[in-house]
Amino acid sequence: MNTTLQEQLRSSSQTENITVEAIVNLFVATDYLRQRFDKVCAENGITHTQYNILRILKGAYPGGHPRCEIMVRMIERAPDTTRLLDRLEQQGLVERIRSEHDKRLSIARITPKGLDLLNNAAPRFNAVWDEISCKVSRAESMMLAEICEKLSDGNCKELRIDM
C-alpha cells in the first residue's frame, strides 16, 4: 500500500503551513534520490561529492579548472575541496598541474582513468535517471526545475501569507 510522505513522517492531518509540508517532502525526496545515486557511486569506489567533481572536470575536458572554479560549480558546496581533489588524485582519477606564474594555483584535470570510471558508471546512473523519469512527467519536471530555481535564488520577490 502506498502512503503519502505526510503519513510516512507521521505528521498531523492539518498542516499549519503548506510550504513547510512541501519543503519537508522535498527533503524526503532528496534523501531518496541521494541514496539511489550514492549506491551507484559506492559501486564505483567514489562518493557523490567526488562524482560531482569528476562530472565538473569532464565538462572542462581536456582542460581543467582551478579549485575555486570547481567549488563554484559544485551542486553541494564542500569546504574540503582540496582534500577531495587529493583523494581523487591518489586514485589516479584527477591530476593537478601547477601554474608556472603562481605556484599557489593548480589546475585540476580529469585523467583517462577518471573518464573511464564515469563512462563505465554511466549505464547505472542512466538507469536511476530513467527510474526517476518514469515517475515524473516532462511538464512536472519543468515545473519542479522552476520551483527549485526560485528556492535557490535567495531573493523573496513577494511576501505571501497562507491562511
What 8-state DSSP symbol labels residue 136?
Answer: S
* Predicted pLDDT of residue 3: 60
Query: In the structure, what pLDDT confidence band is assigned to residue 163 with cuts at 50, 70 and 90?
Result: very low
Sign of the C-alpha dihedral computed for residues 59, 62, 63 and 64 taken in this order: positive
> Does any domain span residue 4?
no
CATH number at residue 130: 1.10.10.10
Distance (Å, whole) CA 45 – CA 23: 31
Give the other-Cβ count within 10 Å of 8's Cβ.
Answer: 10
Q: Could you tell me which residue, 7 or 152, shows the higher pLDDT?
A: 152
> Does any domain span residue 106?
yes
> Does any domain span residue 133?
yes
Query: Which cell is 121 given?
Result: 558508471
The pLDDT of residue 11 is above 70: no
> Does any domain span residue 7?
no
Query: In the structure, what pLDDT confidence band is assigned to residue 19 with cuts at 50, 70 and 90?
Result: confident
pTM of the model: 0.77
Which whole number is the average pLDDT over 119-129?
94
Number of domains in the chain: 1
